[in-house]
Amino acid sequence: MKLRLLLAALALATTARAMPQIPVAPPLDLVRLELRYRSARIQRDLGWGLAAAGIALAAAGTATAVFGAYRDNYDVAGLLTGVALAAAGVALTIPGIVLALRGQDVMAEVGSRMRLFVPVVTPTRSGPSAAADGLLVGARFSF
């Protein structure tokens, strides 16, 4: 009797371990989605700002390098300074663009998730045909 009970418990334990656990979708939390959207928007805006500063720095570096190279006495220090500024500008531009694009991707993903669960309110028709139906003001909900 004890052996049967032990075998039954062992069989039950092995089948329970063998069954895959089905992941349950977390409940919709609009506050988390809004925070993630806000964070992604800040990330995107900072990325574009960083990219713009990098482009300006690269342009200033290029102008400095060209000015240093085409002076009468061939200013090597100006040329090297311009090249260094241009390299620093490119070094700022690339991460800025990557940061901005990643932020935009997250914004699009979170925005589409929010639109799936938040009803959209659109106004109904207005004018004489709406008045004939007895509607003065109306809204249509779509889910």
Cβ atoms of 61 and 93 within 8 Å: the answer is: no
H helix or E strand, kind and range, residue 139 = strand 139-142
User: What is the reported pLDDT for 66?
Assistant: 86
pTM score of the predicted model: 0.59
The whole-angstrom separation of Cα 77 and Cα 75 is: 6
The whole-angstrom separation of Cα 12 and Cα 67 is: 82
7 Cα distance to chain centroid:
53
Q: Is the pLDDT of residue 45 over 70?
A: yes
Could you read off the pLDDT of 50-88 as tens digits, one per residue? 999 999 999 999 998 888 777 777 778 888 889 999 999
Could you read off the pLDDT of 120-138 as tens digits, one per residue? 555 555 555 544 455 555 5
